[in-house]
Structure formats: C-alpha cells, structure tokens
Amino acid sequence: MSTQLMKNTDNKPQPHLRLTPLTPPLTPIKRTSALAVIVSSLLLSACGGGDDATPSEPVTTPVVPSVISASLSATSQGSETGPTHMIFTVSLTEANNSGAAISFNLTTDASSTAKQGEDYQAFDSVLAIPVGETNASLTINVIDDSDIEALETLTLKASSAVSNSASLSVSQDTATATITDNDSQGSDPSYSQNLTPSSNNLRFTANIVTQADTQVQMQFSTQGMPVKLTPLSPLGNTHDFNLYGLRPETQYQVSGLIHLSTGDIVQTQAQTITTGALPAGLPTVQLISQNTTTSAGGLTFLSSTDAETARFFAVDETGAVVWYLDDDSINMSAAPTIKSLGQGQLLLLLSREARIIDMTGATISSFSLPAYHHDALLLPNGNLLALVVQTRTVNGKSLKGDEIIEVNPTGDIIWRWSSLDHLDTSRFPGALSQRVLDNGDIDWSHSNALAYLGHDDSILLSSRSQSWVVNIDKASGNIVWIFGDNTGANSTLQDKFFTLESGSWQANQHAPMFTSVGDLLIYDNRNEAALPGASNNSRAVKYSLNTHLKQATQIWEAIAPKYTSSLGDVDELSNGNVMYTSGGPGSNSDTHIVEVSSDASAQTLWEIKLADTSVYRAERLSWDEFLLSSVQTSTPSTDPILNPKIDTVNCQEAKQFVDTNNSANYIDYDMDGRTNADVYGSEHAPSLGVSCDSDTLYIDTNGATNFDWVNLGQGNGGPQANNYHWVIPRNPELTTEQVAIPLLGPVAVTVTGIQIFGPNENGADNFADPVTDGLLNYCGGHTRDYHFHERAKCFFEYPTLGGASSLLAPQTAGVVLGYAFDGFPIMSPWECTDSSCTSVVQVNSSYRYTGSGDYSNENAWQNHVYEASLSPLDQCNGMMRPDGSYAYYATETWPYYLSCYRGPTHLVGENNPRG
C-alpha cells in the first residue's frame, strides 16, 4: 500500500471523503483501506403498469402475477478492530417460488475510489437467492492496514441476471459503501477544529484554524447516504462553515480537508455529531419510488399550504427531511413558494413580502409587496416582477383581473402591464372565469404564474381562468402570441393564436416554462378539458412551438396519479427529467411530487407522497448548489459571489480563457483609451472566474464585455452587467445521437465569459439569421444582456489596451473561442491539416443558403440545407481534430458556432432554464 501524499492535481474536491472536526494532526493523507462501512439502500424496483379505465365503464381486472421487488442493503458494518467485513444482503418481498434460483449480478462501478486488492478483497459477482428463500448475502472482506487515509467508497451496480419468473423485472441500480479509516493521527498543533450545534436542529457550525494560509472544505456522511462535500473556503487561516443537509436524530461523521499550497490534502480527525428532532407540525413524507440510476437526485424544497403549520423544508432523495427554515416570525402566504436563484440563494414568496435568503435562512434582501398574489420572480437587473390584483367594472360587471408590476429594491413601481387593457374582457370560457367571489368580483383572469425570457426581454403570463399562456413584449407591452384555445376571443386577438396540429389544449393550467431546448412545458390541471377533469387526471405536457407560423404540436405528456382541481407545478430538471407537483384538492387530498423521464414513456423515476396535505409548488436543487452557502464569508453580498480568479494551476480548461479582469485585455474599439467601466461605471468592469472539479467546469462572470459598447438600438441605452454561473461538463464523450440546441437562449460561452446564442433571432423577428439581417454590432453580438450570434470578430481584429495586436491569434490553429454547454470546445475556424500541423487551412460550414435574399422575413433554419460535400464539418458544425478530439468550429457563415449538440446535455438546462 502506497504511503505517498494524496495529490490533488486538478483542484478536485475529493468525492468520497467525510467531515471531521477538532484538533488533530497535519498528517498527510495516504490512500489505503480501513473500515466502518456505510452503505446506502439500493432499491431494485420491479416494472409494472396497467391501463386506465373510465369510471363509468365496467372494468374487467385481469389476473396479474404478483410483482416481486428486491432491495440491497448492508447488514453488517466493518472496522479495523472487527468485524473486518461488509455484508450486502439482497431481500425479496416474497419468497422465490419461480422454480429456479434468482441470480443478481453485482459489479463495481467506475466511480468507486476503493480498490480491490488494496482496500477490499475480491468477491463473487453473482449472488443467487435459492428457491423458497427470500434473501441471500454477500460478504466482502476489508483489508486492514495502519495507514492514515481519506474516506473511500465501493459502489456496486446490481441487475437481475437469471429469473424464470415473468413477474420479476429488476432495473439496474447502485449502492455505495463508504470505508473510513480508524487509524489515529495523533495530535498536531498546526490546526485546530471545532463543531458547534446551532439553534436549527439540522445545522452545525464548523471552524478550522490553520497556521498557514490554506483552503479548507468540510465533509460529512452517515449510514445510507454518500459523502457530502462543501465548497472550498477562501484562502486564509480561519475557515468557518455552516453544515446543513443533515437528517434529524442521526449520527454523522464530520471532518475537514485542508488543501495545502503543494497540492496535497490533509484530512482532520473525524468527529461524531448527532442532530436533533424536527420541529412540530411538518407533514409526513412517504417515499413511493426511487430510481437511483436515472433520477436527477438532489433536494426537493416545498411547504404545505396549511395556515397553522406551513413551513419551508427540503427532503433528500429518500424523502428524509434534511433542511427546514427555523424563522417562526415569517408570515407565510396562502400559496407559499420557494425558488432557487442559484449560487446558494433562495427566493421566498411570503405574505406581503418577497425575501431572498441563503441556505442558513439569513436574509440577504427583501421586497415589500402589499398586494401581490400567486407569483413573483427576480429579474436579472435586480428588480422584482410580481402579479397584483386589479379590478375594473366592464359592461356592468366587476371583473377581477391582474397587473404585472416591476418593483425596484427601494419599492418604486417602474413598469406595469394590465390584463384588463390587453386581453378580452368579454370572454368567459368556462366556470372558473364566471366564478363570483365573496366580494362580488368575477374571477375573470386568475393569473397564477410568471416567467421571464431574457433572450428577448419578454414575459410569459399564465391566465388560469382563460386557459391561456400569454407572451408579452416587455418593452412595448404588446402581446406577441397567445397559447390556448381561441374560441370566443375577439377579432383583435385572433392573429396572436397558435394552430394546434396534434394533441389537446391545456385547461386551467399552472407554471408554464420553456425547456432547455425551447419546448413549452405546462402543468395542465384539466379542470375544463374536453373530458371532465374528475375522471381524467391532471398532467405535465410539452408542446413544440413554431412562433413564426403560429403552429404548435403536443410532443409529450405525463399523466399524474390524481386529478388536481387547483394548485400545481412543473419544472425541467438539470438532466432533462421533469418534476411535477400535484398538490391541491381534487380526486383526493394528497400531494404527489413526481420525477419522470422526458422520453415518450414518461417513466416515474422518483415519487413522494404527503397524505392529506396541499403543496403549491416544489423546487429541486442539486447538492452542489445547495451547499454553496455553507462556506461563511466575512463580506456577505446581495449578489451571487463571483470569484474573479482563473485557476490555471488546477484547471486545464482555464488556460484557454482570457483574463478579462485585467484591463490590458480590453479591446479599445474607438481608440479613446477608455473602457466601459470608465464611461458607464465600475460595475461594468469585467469579472471572470474559472475553476473546475473532476467532472465540471465552472465559469462565474458578471457578463460585462471586454470591448467598447456600441448601442444598436434607439435612445441612450447603456450596457448591462448581470451575474452568470455557467456549469459545463468536463471530458465529454460523443453520444450516439445529436440533440437540438435551444431555439432561444444561450448554447455556449466564450473564453471571455460572454454567452453565445444559436444562429437565429426570436419569433418576433421571424427566427431570421441575425447576421444577414444586420442585427449585430461590430463584434458579432447584440446589446442589452450582451450575447454573440456570430463569431466574435473583434477578438481577432482589434488591438488591446495592453498593446497586443489582437485579443486572440488570427488565422491560427488550436485557438479555443468558447465552450458549448455539452463540454466540447468551439475552435476558431482554422485547423491543422494533420497531426504534425504541416499546414493550416480555414474551416468552412457545410450548410448552403437556399433563401431568396429576403433575410428579415426568412426563418434561418428553413433556408439553410446541410451538404456534407461542402466541408468536413458535420451537421452540428463540428468534426474530429487531427489529435483525435472532437470540437465545434466558429465558421464565417451559418450556423456560426453550432447547430446541435454531439455531447452530454445533462447540464444544458442549468445554463438555459428559460424561466
């Protein structure tokens, strides 16, 4: 067994290490074995299903054999002092009566950090349950040694290998065992460590003081869950953490990881902590199903709507509560909502207030909203967009409509839009729009959701009573389009509606949003659908929209386990799965929060149930995002924290980025020696941070350009700076199929931290090619929230303030211009002809323009055709480079950057949530 230091050459948080506190030794960690095995439960759920039947029809129930499910667990723990083994047991819900042994394959997953022969002994990979038995066990011996080491994990994949029973269908799943070291590190005066419980029973504080300036992260684990890691603390000698995400009344092992300047990591001595009980009144959460392989995982945030017991809380993948907000002074609303703002911040929609907090519950900022209802959201400019009630007497009827208002942080209303001014006040399509409220008003509009689309500065409004989703141009206030049935709408609105080519319209919907690939996703309550809602459950539904031709097609749906007459929510998750919340009254009083696959099967991958409880909305966060607030800083900010550091030492990709924090890398287009920060204010100085862990590249930027602002629009509009946190997979591999890029919104980011959009404009501009339509400035992008459509020409053509003739080398092979959201680089359009680079040639697009020259009225996608003979580039605008790696190319002509993804798209949704 090696006794060398555990080298962290990529600045990777070690993924399977645990937290420890207090005063031990600065002894370097050696990777070896040791014990105390913690294994998460593995559920191998059997697949099954059946046809729905209409209640009014007689139903013949077929005889179906009972479905056996199997679960894998660790039934014995290990330690160096004994027992020195792990026992995994597969248990069936019924005895094996199939007539033959049921066998399971157990294989080691590549994510395991423990090594066979060093940390554990070899084991038989097939585990058989004999006829008549309900379980079988596998013993894996742990190798003991005296080395001091970090936590290590053994992850097994299980699948059903042989079964004569047709009723046993076991999906592949995983379980993780964590091996911890119990060798003493002695005492070491080079650091001290303390853990202290807080007033919140699921939170502790940790403090580590080191003699030298270092970075530190904490790790914690308990039986049945993988090790969790906090982010790294800032460089210094005092490191404070909030530890949260802990289950109630549970024992945890906690330790610190001290990252030395040499790249070595020192693990502090493990300390045991025990959490307290949950506060009274939280509803009981029942885990109905979980597929640990294909579920997105993470934490689900929610609150009941019960006025007496409502409290925000979060559950982990198993349904266990691991976070709650302990501020009892909060005045909860009738429809409590919690939204992630990214960077470890949450937006709470309360009674008469919208509050921004971090994960500890500390208030960052607050907006007073005396009259808002249902929904509000934070805009990129820091203002709040909210729904408020508006009433008006029309034709003798008192109609309750809605206004959308924009409120700045000081409480001033700076923009407003009225549904009573823009929608049809003579239309009452169903019972909800005709409902008379207690005060005599008619609930004509009942808007219940907002979404902001930054790519074209527009708003989605959900009008439940009208069964419409309305797209509003914010600058003009005009309606761009209306999605829904146009029956009964007046003639002035008829040209705004879509034709539904296939599928069915939504009815009395909630929570419309655009997915990462530009589809409209809706929670469809179906109160007034073509079939009565009580006998047809609610659903999550997707539509593909052609806003140029006003055509729509239903492309996907997932039927909920109940009909929900009110309330409801739906979200696209980071891996493309969909999570919906059927949380209101209807066919029963229970709430079901369900994660389903996005393919045609809409397979349930995770589901929890809250009996006799209503929930308005639920929000899913990854563990990484959740733990961002765990590092305490001495300078809290109302904005997400940007780290203007480009870590070229530990992150290989960072070497490709331009340090725009340095004004020497500023492109002085007008040659006046001034930057945007000099002209428009210091907030317009670029801020760029680049870092990575083993799997992900992180780019933090304020979106400010490192080149002179030129306003293409009317008036005196200036540049905007907004915080962005891009997450991009490292080491991508080509997938078996190409995936469409989003029609709107970012698809990539440049090496200066500026977003790249696809090769078309929005629907208001006919999805035209913005280059040939003359909509871009001298650098190849748009003003407002600046984004590129065309190759960033100014990077190659203009000098910098530092005296360089150009920011990036022109006509040079191997120049990385950006990274697509699937992880592949985007190269400048010059490449070596062979691996020795004997010559360099320009790379051209393989798309040919087929239009008539009427660029502003032509859909760019419909007027370009791919011809493989034109160049080596594939349909996505990429190819294999001479060194054998794949890359996209920023070509001179359409599609300019890329037209589809060839790599993994699980992080696309995090970068382009589309509202």
Tens digit of pLDDT for each residue in 320-332?
Answer: 999 999 988 888 9
Provide mean pLDDT across the span 7-14.
35
256: buried, middle or exposed (CB in 10 Å: 19+, 13-18, 0-12)? buried
Q: Does one domain contain both 172 and 259?
A: no
Count Cα neighbours of 426 within 13 Å in the Cβ-side half-sphere.
8
Integer Cα distance of 269 and 907 in angstroms: 35
CATH number of the structural domain spanning residue 236: 2.60.40.10
Integer Cα distance of 507 and 467 in angstroms: 5
Give the residue, 834 or 97, on which the prediction is more confident: 834
Q: Does one domain contain both 572 and 547?
A: yes
Closest CA to 247 of 222, 280, 218, 270: 222
For residue 221, is it within any domain? yes
Q: Does one domain contain both 589 and 698?
A: no
Question: Has residue 859 got a pLDDT over 80?
Answer: yes
Whether 829 contacts 854, CB under 8 Å = no
Provide mean pLDDT across the span 288-297.
91
Whether 909 contacts 574, CB under 8 Å = yes
Among the three residues 222, 243, 274, which one is the final residue of a domain in this structure? 274
Question: Has residue 748 got a pLDDT over 80?
Answer: yes
Q: Does one domain contain both 77 and 134?
A: yes
Q: Does one domain contain both 818 and 745?
A: yes
Provide mean pLDDT across the span 611-639.
80
Q: What length does the chain have?
A: 915
Q: Which residues pair with 92 in a beta bridge?
A: 70
Closest CA to 620 of 583, 569, 562, 565: 569
Q: Does one domain contain both 166 and 200?
A: no
Give the residue, 397 or 163, on which the prediction is more confident: 397
Q: How far is CA 165 from the centre of its chain?
A: 39
Give the residue, 58 or 734, on which the prediction is more confident: 734
Share of the chain above pLDDT 90, in %: 56
For residue 599, is it within any domain? yes
Closest CA to 387 of 528, 510, 539, 571: 510
Minimum mean pLDDT among 19-23, 203-207, 346-350, 764-768: which range? 19-23
Average pLDDT of the chain is 83
Q: Does one domain contain both 754 and 796?
A: yes
Tens digit of pLDDT for each residue in 574-586?
Answer: 788 999 999 989 9
For residue 375, is it within any domain? no
Residue 158 is part of which domain span?
Answer: 37-46+68-179
Residue 556's pLDDT is 96
Q: Which helix (H) or strand (E) holds 620?
A: strand 619-621
Closest CA to 807 of 825, 822, 793: 793
Q: Does one domain contain both 165 and 217?
A: no
Minimum mean pLDDT among 183-187, 568-572, 692-696, 808-812: which range? 183-187
For residue 604, is it within any domain? yes
Whether 355 contacts 341, CB under 8 Å = no
Most confident stretch, 105-114, 562-571, 705-714: 562-571
Question: Has residue 701 got a pLDDT over 80?
Answer: yes
Three-state secondary structure of 640-678 = CCCCCCECCCCCHHHHHCCCCCCHHHCECCCCCCCCHHH
Question: Has residue 117 got a pLDDT over 90?
Answer: no
Q: Does one domain contain both 164 and 78?
A: yes
For residue 85, is it within any domain? yes
Q: Does one domain contain both 760 and 876?
A: yes
Whether 590 contacts 581, CB under 8 Å = no
Q: Does one domain contain both 167 and 196?
A: no
Among the three residues 179, 212, 247, which one is the final residue of a domain in this structure? 179
For residue 582, is it within any domain? yes
Residue 688's pLDDT is 94
Tens digit of pLDDT for each residue in 220-247?
Answer: 999 878 889 998 888 889 999 999 999 9
For residue 370, is it within any domain? no
Tens digit of pLDDT for each residue in 127-171?
Answer: 888 888 888 888 888 887 655 555 677 777 777 755 444 455 454
Integer Cα distance of 129 and 133 in angstroms: 6
- Give the chain's domain count: 4
Question: Has residue 894 got a pLDDT over 70?
Answer: yes
Residue 285's pLDDT is 97
The SS3 assignment for 295 reads: coil
Provide mean pLDDT across the span 751-763.
91
Q: Does one domain contain both 87 and 218?
A: no
CATH number of the structural domain spanning residue 158: 2.60.40.2030
For residue 567, is it within any domain? yes
Integer Cα distance of 796 and 751 in angstroms: 13
Among the three residues 256, 274, 292, which one is the final residue of a domain in this structure? 274
